[in-house]
Amino acid sequence: MKFLAWSNEHVMWWCGNRRGYTSSIEEAGRYSRADAEAIVAKATLDGVLTVRRTDPCTGAEYSQLSEVLVLAPEDIPDADR
């Protein structure tokens, strides 16, 4: 199985070989689970996985993950099978 790494900070996918970002899921890098987990772990702020954000419309505060890993679309099981 392959995974993608999403950056909430950049609002884009990580490219392959950890080189830059892309808004295209097709161009996003495919990583092993271990590599995707390493990306998420390294992107933390002093070991903190979430950052505090404030909604500009409501003023409500919330926590957001800096980076997250997701299963590559081509590896998601087809529900019709």
One-letter amino acid for residue 73 of the chain: P
Residue 66: predicted pLDDT: 75
pLDDT of residue 53: 78
pTM reported for the whole predicted model: 0.72
Tokens representing 46 are: 């002093």
**Secondary structure class of 2 (helix, strand, coil):** coil
Q: Return averaged pLDDT per consecutive 10 residues of the chain, 81 residues in all.
A: 90 94 96 91 67 86 81 82 47
Instruction: Give one DSSP letter per residue of 9-68, joined into a string.
Output: TTTEEEPGGG--EES-GGGSPPB-HHHHHHHHHHTSBTTB-EEEEE-TTT--EEEEESEE
pLDDT at 15: 97
